[in-house]
Structure 1
């Protein structure tokens, strides 16, 4: 249900310059991205497409390490773990000389830059983003430039309006920098249309077509662009197309803009776009005190402790992720790129980054935006099967750590021994299950989630060894950490591997029962589940590796051993007081490192915050929020990977997810064979003292529950719930109360501080 707050401002203003694309303001419809930067009178709009990747790396067959698996396991068990990692590289290079160098994925690149230069001097400017409409605005003197990317019409719209006639130049050029391999470019000007064509050495092509309409005069410019004379309005409609040469030929030029002559009016285009984008964005809202205003981003970022900053970043993060989900999920840079060489090739990094980026989509009311992720994974299923067979001689699927134009396990090395990371399919299975848990869609469970979980489980049935009733994960990998004093990431029995597979098997058995199946494989799934080792505590802290020879190294950016607290918490961690306390100390140990020297990979903080929220540790969770808010956002309100560096959308999804987890928490997962029980809903499970009053709307919870509105103050809370079925509502005060939710109705739960009961009405 959309939040009815159309009269309330949603967005920000900034006066900080944007010298490069990484500092620009963003707009996008998921398929096309636009990022606006430059200076008054000399604006650059970098255009990108979700499928435009420079074909630099031909996919290779995964190395045949299944042939040496007994030797790999012997080396690992003999504590010659680096030798095991080196053996993988040797086998790979012997099989294909292409593995002599570290292989990356094809990078997501910018398609081109629309350059608009107006004559004359330009005064100070203001730039702003309206989250509810997706419109980016730059104003100076008497000139106003608006940019948005239409969802209904899949077109980038740039409109310039001036109170007096202005003149200038317009062109489309390749993005700045030098491509790592030559790319042939040609700019063609046809009356009112500019087309920049790019052709890779593989003969793949792309084209950026920009159609121009103005109330002034146009003429060809010397650089191949257009000269605009005496205009008070200039409109550019642009689109990027990616494909084989015949595809680009068929779609280029006037035909490329799909009959937009029928809708030439920008206000009509904007109204159609705002209706679609605004409905998605408007489904959730956070208020942490104070009257809603359009915030000044520069001023807000100066005070990381201000709750208003958290509320603004909740909106900014949701806006960025919604705007970067199209036919594909958000890459490391969402759908934006203004470079030939993005960090980590702007791929899909599956050992934590992508999961952080999509973490809030379901919880903040947009679960349908998860479907492109499942489409991506399903499209690469054959590659995942090939990984399992070649690397481990196993059935089922093995998902690599890095994914781009293909799904083959090509990225690994002697240090980053990523062929040893086998938890990917189990972890991603949780996202399939969560989509069902949030939406209640039985067809999705039956047709998409269950088959993926089955193939994931098949791999672990073949890969995991069981001796004396205890399962062992050899090799194993806890991203991207090394056991203390070892100097190598190669490992055995990582807690994260075991926790993810336990979660997978628990969910698979529950799905099997829910669908009323009699799958003969269920006995093997349960047998493996029961053989999985439990958590270990070392020196009072939850251990990151279960193997007795591997000691913890808390000075690290990942916190993978806390996986069991990120989604529906593992009941073992919550029910056992010793394990719960050890998990809390693991959070503290990681936070100590972040306080002293942690400034990179912000999504690792999200992992810590989610674990703290699940444990009810409000102040550590808030410390994480404050650190995220104060160090990892630029004045364009797009997050960075490191403190102040590297455009990256991981915590655009992660920060809103953490806010929700602090205010609306999940109950523990159910053990296999457990009978029906009401859903568990925890209200204000980790509310920090600095948020004494506030309101959040449009939050979804597992079990098909929607928290239409949750408002709290020192006097208590009021929650309006909808859904279907019994819910056990937990609050900071009193005993839990069972509430019956009925389709088409809402129930209001009211709790006064200090009460021992909960009042409800429907």
Structure 2
């Protein structure tokens, strides 16, 4: 097939299942023959495990965030006095004193599966084959004469399954695993019908009470004690409905596989086809100067395929809510980190490629999720710090209250969450030009974020407490700190965007300019890298220092052996103007290389999205080979060949954040864009093109201020067709061309000449 893959790998492991989904409903498709190399037990079957984007099992009652606002002066004294662990432990002590539920770390409610539908052929023998078509969302399994076809319809919101070639039995049941809290299940079977009812016993208000999985079976079938027996062909329409919500009866769905697939493929396929990237080398048959005739060598073919696989997974798991850690899929009651929305890196990585690969509207579920939790975010800010505005937790699923923290992972000290998410709001505007969205949704969220900063910043402009996600300064004993670079960078970004947006909307923004001027400068470490910890405001760009060298409030010494690269935030989206300073730019480049040295030589199975952070920074700095190395590490360490879904660790933990992150890094190597406050926006073509990609083509990449309809390149030549909604200065190396709003213009860059052929305007 043109887009997708075929495999002969049979598995009983849901983490290696093929995936399909419509964002609201998910289906894991797996199974096959038993015995050596096949399933782990029994003669084998063909399975579909269902899930729903809102099926978070009520396990942990939400609590009010700890009221630590009155303790803030003491926390700051501990941090300024060089006692960061004391500050982190004090928060835990105060929380446990308020509520016994804080005596241990509190987790969020987990995303769980609803049921598994198993098909056992009456006579099972022969070869096994499975396939996934990215362009349609159709997944197939074939085992001898038995054939199973599965997709999840976007228009009808139903899982559609067709069995053909062999009769067999169908059984609908919960997964074979003990849930962490009691669930009452009831199963029933009737003519052409399988039903599973689940009832939860959560005592707190607002928790979901249960769900129903209904399977309508069309075709010859006979009930039996635990399921149905079907003849050689049957159609199953399945849906998980959360109690108290959901669509109408499943009987209203037209029972026609081909019609349903055609209607679904028109919607899903249009999303998938909006952009494409091909990387590689020209064939000999292509002739000199023919860019379109490309043969992809192994490494580049793998990257091209993984870009498609990643985009497919994120499209399939973007519904009314954005992807969780596991997208919209789950096969266990105890997923790692509860598979919620992890806001200190994972969610941002999962959605990083949506806008640039042509689907910015799939970002709106992020905003819908956040706006539904604004009251909780305000409560976090008020109780934790006595501030106006909003404070976003690092982990979230059914509520947005700040309940997850501890003496080591001092997450109440992380104040960058709302600001990072505010960048996603602003980036949606930057990629679409939607002024109504900027006014009605982005501006209010950014203002609430800035209100928190206005109240929270110490009198000298310090972020204290502060936190660089999950990293501890070298030689330190706590992750707590003063002025983590990420905290400063995120606030700078939000305030600059407020100033820009205020000018566009005619809204007073002078206060945000004044607040921006109060923020600390970035710091260059004594060893030359961009520092991850700035320290107190007495330390400025170029200052040396570390704990013990510059006093107890001195900045932490950098620790490059770490999976996050949070201090490179100023380069992930639009470059902070401070990096026009060659010294800071060189320091950032050295920071990228230092982290890459650790990744390159590490035998660790650490999480993958830190490589996304490094890749985006490298691309922004024009470090082509460094960016290429991050892509190579992602492609070779963090994808399963069995289903082309990314993993959190090396070959471990089904996780979709890199499915969005890898396409984002590849796109950032091909296009770099920014939207300044006035004048021309900037679009750089091929800013970080590695020598391994001398030829290639891309279509449908959306940039800040416009769209790259087509981009092709070969050594010494690049061609592009650009559409702009704001004035754009387009560059290729040292060459320049301008595209005005409303124009779609072909550009040709050859050698030292740039030619703008306006007579060919389309």
* Length-normalised TM-score, structure 2: 0.91
Q: Is 104-113 or 540-549 further displaced after alignment?
A: 540-549
Match for residue 179 of structure 2? 179
- Three-state SS of the structure 2 residue aligned to 1:153 is coil
1:504 aligns with 2:494: yes
Match for residue 516 of structure 1? 506
- Three-state SS of the structure 1 residue aligned to 2:467 is coil
Instruction: Check conservation: 1:314, 1:655, Cα contact below 8 A.
Output: yes
Deviations 1:283-303 (A, max 9, x none): 0111114799xxxxxxxxxx9
> 2 CA distance for matches of 1:175 and 1:327?
25
Q: Superposed, which structure 2 residues align to 1:510-549 within 5 Å?
A: 510-517=500-507, 519=508, 522-538=509-525, 539-547=527-535, 548-549=554-555
> 2 CA distance for matches of 1:15 and 1:652?
23
Specify which of 158, 162, 165 is matched with residue 159 of structure 1.
162
Specify which of 723, 743, 755 is matched with residue 752 of structure 2.
755
Shift of the 291–157 alpha-carbon distance from structure 1 to 2, 3 Å rule, reads farther
Shift of the 205–650 alpha-carbon distance from structure 1 to 2, 3 Å rule, reads same
> 2 CA distance for matches of 1:717 and 1:476?
45
Specify which of 435, 443, 446 is matched with residue 450 of structure 1.
443
> 2 CA distance for matches of 1:375 and 1:48?
20
Q: Superposed, which structure 2 residues align to 1:351-750 within 5 Å?
A: 351-467=344-460, 471-517=461-507, 519=508, 522-538=509-525, 539-547=527-535, 548-573=554-579, 575-597=580-602, 598-635=604-641, 636-667=643-674, 670=676, 676-703=678-705, 705-732=706-733, 734-742=734-742, 745-750=743-748
Deviations 1:87-107 (A, max 9, x none): 000100111111011101000
Task: Specify every segment of 5 or more residues in structure 1 that has no aligned partner in the other structure, as ranges.
Answer: 1-7, 293-302
1:78 aligns with 2:81: yes
1:304 Cα deviation after fit: 10
Specify which of 252, 255, 268 is matched with residue 259 of structure 1.
252
Shift of the 62–150 alpha-carbon distance from structure 1 to 2, 3 Å rule, reads same
Match for residue 206 of structure 1? 211
> 1 CA distance for matches of 2:251 and 2:195?
15
1:424 Cα deviation after fit: 0.6
1:746 Cα deviation after fit: 2.0
Match for residue 295 of structure 1? none
> 1 CA distance for matches of 2:458 and 2:159?
54
- Three-state SS of the structure 2 residue aligned to 1:328 is coil
- Three-state SS of the structure 1 residue aligned to 2:116 is strand
Q: Is 40-49 or 406-415 further displaced after alignment?
A: 40-49
1:456 Cα deviation after fit: 0.4
1:119 Cα deviation after fit: 1.8
> 1 CA distance for matches of 2:111 and 2:669?
34
Instruction: Check conservation: 2:117, 2:173, Cα contact below 8 A.
Output: yes
Match for residue 96 of structure 1? 99
> 1 CA distance for matches of 2:555 and 2:530?
15
Give the count of matched residue pairs: 711
> 2 CA distance for matches of 1:618 and 1:225?
57
Deviations 1:468-515 (A, max 9, x none): xxx101000000100111121111100000000000000011111100
> 2 CA distance for matches of 1:291 and 1:22?
37
> 1 CA distance for matches of 2:189 and 2:352?
44
1:741 Cα deviation after fit: 4.4
1:599 Cα deviation after fit: 2.6
> 2 CA distance for matches of 1:74 and 1:512?
36
- Three-state SS of the structure 2 residue aligned to 1:160 is strand
> 2 CA distance for matches of 1:173 and 1:291?
52
1:349 Cα deviation after fit: 0.4
1:194 aligns with 2:184: no
1:639 Cα deviation after fit: 0.4
Instruction: Check conservation: 1:280, 1:366, Cα contact below 8 A.
Output: yes
> 1 CA distance for matches of 2:555 and 2:236?
64
CA RMSD for the aligned pairs? 1.6
1:265 Cα deviation after fit: 1.1
> 2 CA distance for matches of 1:258 and 1:423?
47
Shift of the 690–109 alpha-carbon distance from structure 1 to 2, 3 Å rule, reads same
- Three-state SS of the structure 2 residue aligned to 1:197 is strand
Match for residue 40 of structure 2? none
1:258 Cα deviation after fit: 4.7
1:600 Cα deviation after fit: 1.6
> 1 CA distance for matches of 2:558 and 2:168?
62
